[in-house]
Amino acid sequence: METETKKIVIVGGGAGGLELATSLGKKLGRKGKAEVTLVDRNHSHLWKPLLHEVATGALDDGVDALSYLAHARNNAFRFQLGTLIDINRDQKFIRLGRIDNEQGEVLVPERNLSYDILVMALGSVSNDFGTAGVKDHCIYLDNPKQAQLFHNKMLNLFLKFSSQPHEEERVNIAIVGGGATGVELSAELHNAVKQLHSYGYQGLDSKALNVTLVEAGERILPALPVRISSSAHQELSNLGVNVLTKTMVTSADANGLHTKDGEFIKADLLVWAAGIKAPDFMKDIAGLETNRINQLVVERTLQTTRDPAIFALGDCANCMQDDGTPVPPRAQAAHQMATLCYHNIMALLNGGTLKSYRYTDRGSLVSLSKYSTVGSLMGNLTKGSMMIEGRLARLAYISLYRMHQVALFGCVKTGLIVLVGSINRIIRPRLKLH
């Protein structure tokens, strides 16, 4: 393939897509060797594993979000605001949906964007498995808007409670899904209550908060070793979180959750964080092979099985490993896939050999807010899996985000961002209070 004026389009500026656009922009866009375009439905990027912190106010997305336009200019790629709705593989273009203003008036009509190489990196959404009432009554923490919605509802509930605290009443919040999101959110909620109390929310303390974490499986954090899930379970119980395992939710309504055993879990605020899928419109999109959760099936080179000009990475890709299991939908996988995809696109343009992706599990860490961090580290040094807890675990947890920042900004700028973060912790409130 010739390198001149090739059009590379990346859809989705998340954990994987934005890193890829940045490296391709710097390598090819800057020298005019290719036109690199990133498409995202939002104006700004926020690393998804931080969403539970946005939900509780521990993180202010207004401060931490990165503008795509500014980042694109600094790294020699183009940014197009838009939502992918279809792909035309014969004529090699993608279709972007129209953009309306709040009144429903058309700002930008539907349009096409042509490509020579297309990378699908549009992530995943929560999978409610069609459970009755969930769509109408639960919040999914899929994007900053939903995290913000949770934050507003949470503050309203706390405000109402603290204006008229009653001995017997509590604020009831139920979270479905004992994976990392549910566990981390449960702990963050207790921290939020503590902080709000210190800012003057009368009567609001840990006893006033009733968080129920519901998991269908035998234990929370099923993807992690038993020792870690037991440790996290214990920490949550110590905080006062009501952890229910082997509990299947069959439906949700405005007042709470119904379980298979006939129990009712009363809740003022409901969150669904049990399982993921690629968005429904991806099912068989443009005749590409997809699996039962709508992910695009890819070869080890990350090219889709039916079209080598289309790559997929991150949560929306189904990449099988040697042991027959799929690569898990994790930020570290999206990060590694973005690096490999960069090499393979360069190889495709330069007539080189494409490499195969192999997932390297660096371990899993779960942050229980400021109370604790637990997890396992994997690697050559640890010769397998090593359980870590406390400060070391916290450092390892943060390092995953730092790796993402280094991929976007380089080491010097990341150092400055860390410094600004430290200053902000001194001059700004500990919690977003509005």
Ligand X SMILES: Cc1cc2nc3c(=O)[nH]c(=O)nc-3n(C[C@H](O)[C@H](O)[C@H](O)COP(=O)(O)OP(=O)(O)OC[C@H]3O[C@@H](n4cnc5c(N)ncnc54)[C@H](O)[C@@H]3O)c2cc1C
Interacting residues toward ligand X by CB under 6 A? 11-17, 39-42, 48-49, 51-52, 83-84, 121-123, 141, 180-181, 314-316, 329-332, 334
Q: What distance in Å separates the CA atoms of residue 87 and residue 97, rounded to the nearest whole number?
A: 12
**Nearest-approach distance from CB 319 to ligand X, in angstroms:** 12
**Nearest-approach distance from CB 261 to ligand X, in angstroms:** 28
> Looking at the DSSP assignment, which residues form a beta bridge with residue 209?
171
> Looking at the DSSP assignment, which residues form a beta bridge with residue 98?
none
3 state SS for 142-159 = CCHHHHHHHHHHHHHHHH
**Nearest-approach distance from CB 123 to ligand X, in angstroms:** 3
DSSP state for residue 26 in the 8-state scheme: I
Give the DSSP per-residue string, 6-71.
Answer: EEEEEE--STTHHHHHHHHIIIIITTTSEEEEEEESSSEE--GGGHHHHHHTSS-HHHH-EEHHHH
Q: Pick the closer one to ligand X by CB: 16 or 57.
A: 16
Q: What distance in Å separates the CA atoms of residue 263 and residue 244, rounded to the nearest whole number?
A: 12
> Looking at the DSSP assignment, which residues form a beta bridge with residue 171?
209
Torsion of CA 48, 54, 59, 63, to 10 degrees: 80
Q: Pick the closer one to ligand X by CB: 29 or 329.
A: 329
Question: Which residue lies nearest ligand X, judged by its C-beta?
Answer: 14
C-alpha torsion sign, points 410, 411, 413, 417: positive
**Nearest-approach distance from CB 2 to ligand X, in angstroms:** 28
Q: Pick the closer one to ligand X by CB: 25 or 329.
A: 329
**Nearest-approach distance from CB 207 to ligand X, in angstroms:** 26
**Nearest-approach distance from CB 358 to ligand X, in angstroms:** 17
**Nearest-approach distance from CB 164 to ligand X, in angstroms:** 32
CB atoms within 10 A of CB 299: 15
Q: Pick the closer one to ligand X by CB: 204 or 331.
A: 331
Q: What distance in Å separates the CA atoms of residue 388 and residue 373, rounded to the nearest whole number?
A: 8
Q: Pick the closer one to ligand X by CB: 14 or 208.
A: 14
Please report how the helices 390-427 and 331-350 are oriented relative to each other, as an axis angle in degrees rounded to 10.
Answer: 90
Q: Pick the closer one to ligand X by CB: 92 or 330.
A: 330
Q: Pick the closer one to ligand X by CB: 100 or 263.
A: 100
